[in-house]
Structure 1
Amino acid sequence: MRLEEVIEECKLFYLASQETTTTLIVWTMILLCMHQNWQESAREEVLQVFGDKESRFEELNYLKELHKILHEALRLYPLASLFTRITTIEYKLGEIIIPPGVILSMPVILQNFSFELSPT
């Protein structure tokens, strides 16, 4: 890749991460407003882990309840509705041969299903 292309990719990652993070925070706040018991348990957990002291990055692993809430927000309101990829080499999907250059799209709702895609 040329330097200009690398810079453009970095810009894309930066902007995309801002939008997805903002979306996750907004939906999480909405869910916390809708489910007061979630809000209370998250607040208790944060106070138990951090208390009045300054928070440290390593301690975020102890926020199990908040972790569950964030994952539920992502499950209910995924940040992307569709994953799209373009094949660069020939692949075999079951009995189907997929040549290079084919655009594959998969709805996020199907992400819990697994299948094996292997190069031929």
Structure 2
Amino acid sequence: MTKRKKILVLSLAIVGVLVIGGSFFLYTQSSHKKEANNQFESYINKQGISPNDIEKKSMEKDHKQGSYIFNVIFKDDPAYTYEYIYMPNNDMTLLVFKDNVGVDSGMKHEPLK
């Protein structure tokens, strides 16, 4: 095999590995995001909250921890910010804030035990 053919074969192999690796990465990220959304919907359902009760919702990825964070303000409890945290292969955790200070009482929608 000539030097040129060896370089071509090696280049194609590298591109193939990158394409397969990138596809796998994108697939796992989208499946984790979908699972996070499902867990969030399930959690608020167990709390007795309808998605229609949400005034504002944002979702962000914490790349250091690998978690997804949902910041939610409810129409019936606008003084509090509810932070739902989902770690892949774990349960949802709820933290509640009022004026950027964590609280454990006074909110309308209590965390599940």
Q: Answer yes or no: same fold by TM over 0.5.
A: no
Q: TM-score range by the shorter chain?
A: 0.3 to 0.5
TM-score, normalisation: structure 2: 0.40
TM-score if structure 1 supplies the norm length? Answer: 0.38
- Identify, as 1 or 2, the structure richer in strand: 2
Pick the structure with more helix per residue.
Answer: 1
